[in-house]
Chains A and B, each alone.
Chain A
Amino acid sequence: ETGVTQSPTHLIKTRGQQVTLRCSSQSGHNTVSWYQQALGQGPQFIFQYYREEENGRGNFPPRFSGLQFPNYSSELNVNALELDDSALYLCASSLQAVYTEAFFGQGTRLTVV
């Protein structure tokens, strides 16, 4: 077990709705990254938070937003859900350094209908 937990594990939403996904990072880690993984694809970087500030963002529209809290847990919010948002959403916690691996949670499977 990595110590990174995500909730919920599965979720079904209707197009146009909003969703919030949650992640508890591993103890001692100050950086959280979120990824979207479509079926059969590699993870796509959404954004990263370091000490409660966003410090990197991938090619995702503004309706994807996030937060990091003082205890380094994090939320991913997606507004105006689209069918193509259906995917596995992964959270990874790490330290803000080059030579450190990221530890992943089990993911949240989001289905938009």
Chain B
Amino acid sequence: GESVGLHLPTLSVQEGDNSIINCAYSNSASDYFIWYKQESGKGPQFIIDIRSNMDKRQGQRVTVLLNKTVKHLSLQIAATQPGDSAVYFCAEKDSNYQLIWGAGTKLIIKP
């Protein structure tokens, strides 16, 4: 079946630097992608989304880039803070409105 995956299981970043988390997806027909942040012991929290007719979307300190040619998503976090430590998931919504998830990338912030 179709799947969404992540390139790196763990990413260590110096506090204050920018973080880039990558995600590959396999369903070229997917129209909608979401990034979630999950802190330990909590449910996933919506960060930002992007539709397939866009290649970039910006939020507060976060930017999502979509490259449909190579079926790749990335999440950029500017000026990473200790509170950004979490596992980050990309997910795509399929034609049945269901989310297909990757395994996640754990972001570690070094002081």
Residues of A at the B interface (CB closer than 8 Å) are: 2, 4, 6, 31, 33, 41-45, 48, 55-56, 90, 92, 94, 96-99, 101-107, 109
Contacts and interface: CB of A to CB of B under 8 A. Distances in A.
Nearest to B96: A56
Question: Which 9 A-B pairs rank lowest in CB-CB distance, beginning with the nearest?
Answer: A104-B43, A42-B101, A101-B46, A42-B103, A56-B96, A104-B44, A106-B43, A107-B43, A43-B101
A4 B42 CA distance: 12
Contacts of B55: none
Nearest to B101: A42
A109 B42 CA distance: 10
B30 to A, nearest CB: 10
Interface of B: 31-32, 34, 36, 41-46, 49, 51, 89, 93, 96-104
A48 B98 contact: yes
Contact of A98 (B32, B36, B41, B46): B32
Contacts of B41: 106-107, 109
A94 B91 CA distance: 15
A37 B41 CA distance: 11
Given A48-B97, A99-B51, A43 B44 contact: yes
Nearest to B90: A42
Given A101-B34, A104-B44, A107-B43, A31 B97 contact: yes
B14 to A, nearest CB: 24
B96 A103 contact: no
Contact of B43 (A41, A48, A55, A90): A90
Given A42-B103, A42-B104, A101-B34, A96 B97 contact: yes
Contacts of A105: 43
